[in-house]
Structure 1
Amino acid sequence: MTYFAPGPLSIWGAYNKHSWLPQILPACSELPCLLRAVAPFRDTATLIYLECFSSGIIPDLSHREQRHTRAKYDRSSTPLCDLIMATSTTMTQVQNIPWFTALWTLPLLYLVAKIVYNIYFHPLAKFPGPFFAKFTSIYPMMSMVRMNRIRWQHEMLEKYGSPVRVGTNELYFSDMKSWQDIYGQSSNPCPKEKVFYDMFTATGAVSILNERNKAAHARLRRLVSHAFSLKGLLQDEPMIHQKVKTLLDVVFAPAAATKEPVDIFHKLLDHYLDITTYLSFGQSFDCVSGKGTLNHDDLDAFMQTVPLQAFFPPLRRVPLKKIQDAYKALDRLIKFAEKSVKDFYDKIEKNGDDYARGTFLRNLADAVDPETGSKLTGPELVENSILFLVAGSDTTAVTSLYTIWEIGRRPDVRKKLLDEIRTTFPDPKHEPTYEETTELEYLNACIEETLRIWGPLSAGFPRVSPGKTIGDHFIPAGVQVATPAYVTCRDPKVFPNPTEYIPERWLNATSDMKNMSRPFSYGPRNCIGKHLADIGLHLTLTRLYQLYDIEIDPSMTDAMMVQKDRGVSAPWDEKLIVRPTFVHEGIGS
């Protein structure tokens, strides 16, 4: 029997011809329990040792004993004798290895043991997925670096099914039940994953997004819920109308008058930022008009620095201009937030208790938790206000951009929508109210379909299993789990032709469609800003299409609109060039 092959490749030939371990283990009841325990490995452990030896990793220090042993045991030996011989030879070699070689070998042995454990004995070993996901979590990290996370998640679940193992301790799901099991109300909930959520803080204080303690999060949710209620937000509807007017006057009217194309990407970001800064701080950035002291780049600094800082805390001290400029912008944003909140409290004290009553910021400032009697502290108010900017402006702007993109390149959809809006609101001087716009069924369907296909936050939000059944599988405690909305929104069993933009599917939406399309997530920690996004989208899009015909510029391509996932999934080229024309000559806002 060949034990020591002459080269690193020929060992596999020896293994295939003399696979003796599987033959003797089942038959030899006298073997120790330890040997029976390694039966699932087959010849793996022996192969590793032999490969290391034949490659020179483990030195051959017992030539004489090997020759003596080979002479003593020939091919007529029994399998049990072969095993005894191999074990004896191995022990002799181990005893003769110098101590420094043994120490050098320990990390290798640990690595081998870890790999074998992850392949065969890890609690997630039974779940399919990329082979190297058994040993590393590099796949999810690389998808984030490449900014294609949502498409990669879809590819994994399409290829391997649900659930799929994408990392050593990480699973993705795509079935309907997993939404409830992971994110829904439960006596045994899946808490938020620490590393991911702890990164989202500008000032170091906690917010409604990154607070992982269940009771503390419930307190924050109660404190801000009134400000985010539909009734509370509609107190600021006149301000939103004014911001829509500014957008049309500054961006669309000049382009329509000159019949020139205009890139609306950054201006739509600025538009929704103006709305959310007013709501959050009582004063607007005035980005669209260009009169403000801050702009969208200052907000973008949050997304550039905060996530990286979570993985590399000394980042602020790295002397690179781009990094230092980003931190300067982040500092401007924090100072603006702190000053705005202080100024708002000063105005209440100066102008009396009725100042700005009923507005978003006043509702936040006045909120009292009915269970604890506490209010938002100053740092909590600043941190949550910054969060509302990040979560409430870019997401709504991206939804508007993709709605305009889809409507602009689909004549049948555009005709139905324009007929609905202009028949309902024929007078261009009438600014439709939010309540009126919600009656536009086809507009509602267009927005729903945009959120389904182009949801700005559609990657799976990571949670941690407490040890429970998710979908049809029991998932041990400590395993990271997620259900990506990007994937469930493309289930062909629920959404026929899932990649096609078909607003009509929402005119008679089924319960399965609503359960699988979750652009605002699900459960007690879902997005609290749904009403804010809905108001901004309806008022902006209705007034825009009431007064303008919007054509997509021929220079725009599908590749330019592929989503780039930087947390918020926006068009890859960060542009949308359109050609607006007046519906009523000279009436642009």
Structure 2
Amino acid sequence: MLSLDINKYSQRLVAHIQPLPPNVEVGLILCVTTLIVTIPTVVVYRLYFHPLAEVPGRKIHAITGFLTQWKSHVTGTWLREAAQLHRQYGPIVRIGPNHIAVDGSIGWPQVYGHQPGKAEFSKYPNFIFPGDGMSLIGAQKDDHRREPIDIVTWANLTTVDIIGDLTFSESFGGLKSGGYHPWVQNFFDGIRGEGMMRLMDRYLLLKPFILAIGYRHIRESIESAEMSMEKAKARVALGEQPFEGRRDFMTYMLRRGKDGVTAMSETELLVNSSIVIGAGSETTATALSGAFFYIGTHPQVYSYLVDEIRGAFTDASDIALKSTAQVQYLHACIEETLSIYPPAAETPPRVCPGATIGGKYIPKGTVVTVYQWATFRNPSNFADPNSFRPERWLPKTHALYDEKYAGDNRAVFKPFSYGARDCIGKNLAYAELRVILSHILFKFDFELKPGQSDWHEKQTSLLVWDKDPLNITLKLRQDEVSIS
């Protein structure tokens, strides 16, 4: 065991200090004294005298928010910890000196909803990125070879091509090429860099350290933003209608009012168009990948779903937006996927105007977050919250309805946020999920490649889930039907 001679250590320290000029020595002593006095004072204040001192939670989170931010923006492990904290401390938990987490059972309407006559919870700035205030059917080659394909990649290629066409009137060509467009690849590569930059904004003294460990990711994030701007500028240059009779999302962003001014400024157009592409593709692709994983790991669910889809349609041409909405077990499987694997991994926080939440007054300026993951995994809200049980979403008239889930608090199920903050692409996402799953399960049988049972469990979350490949095998169904 190593021993430490305090006297020798002190002498060496004094020897280093003594040669310093008197003014530097005095300054150093003042700085050290200030730190010695300030740090304990801040700690005591935050633990015992801060307005949130009575909110339950771990003491380390009351002292500093760094651990929460690090796990949220860098390691991606915070969501699972937040769920555990709610189980341990209840519906309101302190997760930072001025930051609380609120279970959706009391938080959705209060924090994200609109209440006449009451002040709104304002948006928390720079959550997604600094300055954000403005803001698998075609894989024939793999199918016929019957070799494993990565459904995560094909889900992303599909949804990115769809949202690219809807936003810019131009597909990214992923399904045709079988690979990511450089802009799309940069978007995924830059997500971790966005988290690093958010962390630097909050902890300026740690900027050199964060830059040292995250330079590559930050560079990728900047490159992604630059490519997004170029893509959006090219579309803006085409005007409201890129082609005769063709409208896309940018058409409405560019539309001018009676005063001749566009609904959005050029900067807002450029920022929001890239957000539409990212949010409109990644979350749907995540839900689609998650559906394949959970359906594939539950043989009985797979059997029920395939039977219901193939019983609902006699020909592939019958599969459409409206017709798939009537397939109840399909809808239940999608809802359960969104519950157990919410694609938008972390909900943007809000700033409290000074309000009572769940019977507890929360002072003005407090940052408030409702975590979907923690809310949906809370046994106070759902029976068997960690199990994949589509039957919980079925109507009582369905043959597979289970009374066990009659007491589930469905009101807290908000996978697309809440109220006026609800995702504007929700209906598009549901439509894509229904149609893509219906087409694939109508035409093909599939199974997961062995050794992937922990695919979801080992994922981390950085605004979106960091997913490994999910390899499945597809083969044409053998019975005599029209699947063209």
Same fold (TM over 0.5): yes
Q: Distance in 2 between matches of 1:439 and 1:556?
A: 32
What secondary structure does 1:569 align onto? strand
Asked if residue 338 in structure 1 is aligned to residue 233 in structure 2, the reply is yes
Per-residue deviation, 1:554: 0.9
Match of 2:160 in 1: 273
Contact 1:466-1:478 at 8 Å conserved across structures: yes
1:143–1:152 CA contact under 8 A, matched in 2: no
The answer to whether 1:194 aligns with 2:88 is: no
Deviation at 1:345, TM superposition (A): 4.3
**Residue 120 of structure 1 pairs with residue 7 of structure 2:** no
Alpha-carbon distance in structure 1 between the residues aligned to 2:267 and 2:159: 24
Q: CA deviation at 1:368?
A: 4.3
Distance 1:282 1:545 in 2: 29
Are positions 1:506 and 2:434 aligned together?
no
What's the secondary structure of 1:196's corresponding residue? coil
Question: How far apart, in 1, do the equivalents of 2:471 and 2:370 lie?
Answer: 34
Could you report, residue by residue, the CA deviation over 1:518-551 in whole angstroms, capped at 9, with x for unpaired residues?
1111121221110121121111111111101111
Q: How far apart are residue 455 of structure 1 and its match?
A: 0.4
1:424-573 aligned at under 5 Å gives the runs: 424-428=312-316, 430-508=317-395, 513-559=409-455, 561-571=457-467
Distance, in Å, in 1 between the alignment partners of 2:102 and 2:264 is 36
Instruction: Tell whether the 8 Å contact from 2:151 to 2:471 is kept in structure 1 after alignment.
Output: yes
Return the alpha-carbon distance in structure 2 between the equivalents of residues 583 and 369 of structure 1: 56
2:475 counterpart of 1:581: yes
Q: Is the 8 A contact 2:241 2:251 kept in 1?
A: no
Q: 1:176 to 1:587 in 2, by over 3 A?
A: same
What is aligned with 1:134?
62
Counterpart-to-counterpart distance in 1, 2:256 and 2:324: 30
1:356 aligned residue (246, 252, 257): 246
Which of residues 411, 414, 436 is equivalent to 2:299?
A: 411
Aligned ranges 1:3-14 → 2 under 5 Å: none
The aligned counterpart of 1:86 is none
- Deviation per CA, 1:475-520: give whole Å up to 9, x if none: 1111111111111112323311111111111013869633111111
**In the alignment, what sits opposite 1:378?**
266
Other structure's SS at 2:95 match: strand
Residues in 1 aligned to 2:464 and 2:131: alpha-carbon distance in whole angstroms: 13
Amino acid aligned to 1:338: K
Would the aligned equivalents of 1:455 and 1:569 in 2 still touch at CA under 8 Å? no
Across the aligned residues of Structure 1 and Structure 2, the Cα RMSD in angstroms comes to: 3.1
The CA deviation at 1:298 is 2.5
Residue deviations 1:424-456 (CA, integer Å, cap 9, x gap): 11224x251101110111100000000000001
Deviations 1:298-319 (A, max 9, x none): 322442444433454899x999
Change (3 A) 1:323 1:303: closer
Once the 2 structures are TM-superposed, how far is the Cα of residue 367 of structure 1 from its aligned partner? 6.6
Aligned length: 439
Structure 2 CA distance for aligned equivalents of residues 457 and 123 of structure 1? 31
Structure of greater Rg: 1
AA of the residue aligned to 1:356: R
- TM-superposition CA deviations, 1:223-265 (whole Å, max 9, x none): xxxxxxxxxxxxxxxxxxxxxxxx3232xx3333222111121
Residue 67 of structure 2 aligns with an amino acid whose one-letter code is: Y
Letter in 2 for 1:141: Q
Greater CA deviation, 284-293 or 539-548? 284-293
Distance 1:511 1:476 in 2: 33
**Matches of 1:445 and 1:490 in 2, distance apart?**
17
How far the C-alpha of 1:115 sits from its partner, in A, is 2.1
Matched ranges for 1:92-241 at <5 A: 104-144=32-72, 145-174=74-103, 176-186=105-115, 187-197=118-128, 199=130, 201=132, 206-207=134-135
Aligned counterparts of 1:408 and 1:263: Cα–Cα separation in 2: 14
Q: Would the aligned equivalents of 1:437 and 1:538 in 2 still touch at CA under 8 Å?
A: yes
Write the letter of the residue equivalent to 1:190: F
Determine helix, strand or coil for the equivalent of 1:248.
coil
Q: Is the 8 A contact 2:103 2:374 kept in 1?
A: yes
SS of structure 2 residue aligned to 1:457: coil
Unaligned segments of structure 1, at least 5 residues: 1-55, 57-97, 208-246
Q: The residue matched to 1:166 in structure 2 has which SS?
A: strand
- Gap runs ≥5 in structure 2: 1-9, 11-25, 202-206, 396-404
2:401 paired residue number = none
Measured in 1, the distance between the counterparts of 2:241 and 2:332 equals 44
Q: Is the 8 A contact 1:264 1:577 kept in 2?
A: yes
Which protein has greater RCO, CA pairs closer than 8 Å, 6+ apart?
2
Q: 1:309 to 1:517 in 2, by over 3 A?
A: same
Q: CA deviation at 1:118?
A: 1.8
The residue type equivalent to 2:306 in the other structure is L
Q: Distance in 1 between matches of 2:353 and 2:457?
A: 39
Distance 1:258 1:102 in 2: 73
Q: Distance in 2 between matches of 1:415 and 1:578?
A: 16
The one-letter code sitting in structure 2 at the alignment partner of 1:123 is P
Q: Is the 8 A contact 2:287 2:337 kept in 1?
A: yes
CA change 1:376–1:558 in 2 (3 A) is: same
Distance 2:194 2:258 in 1: 29
Q: Distance in 2 between matches of 1:140 and 1:124?
A: 17
- Could you report, residue by residue, the CA deviation over 1:22-43 in whole angstroms, capped at 9, with x for unpaired residues? xxxxxxxxxxxxxxxxxxxxxx
TM-score, reference length from structure 2? 0.82
Could you say if the C-alpha distance between residues 374 and 366 of structure 1 is closer, same or farther in structure 2, counting changes exceeding 3 Å? closer
Q: Report the Cα offset of residue 101 of structure 1.
A: 6.0
| Alpha-carbon displacement from aligned partner over 1:397-439 (angstroms, at most 9, x marks no partner) | 01001111111121211111111111111224x2511011101
Tell me, in whole angstroms, the C-alpha distance in 2 between the residues paired with 1:100 and 1:441.
Answer: 71
- Match of residue 398, structure 1, among 269, 286, 304: 286
1:588–1:368 CA distance, 2 compared to 1 (3 A)? farther
Q: Which one-letter code corresponds to 1:533 in the other structure? A: A
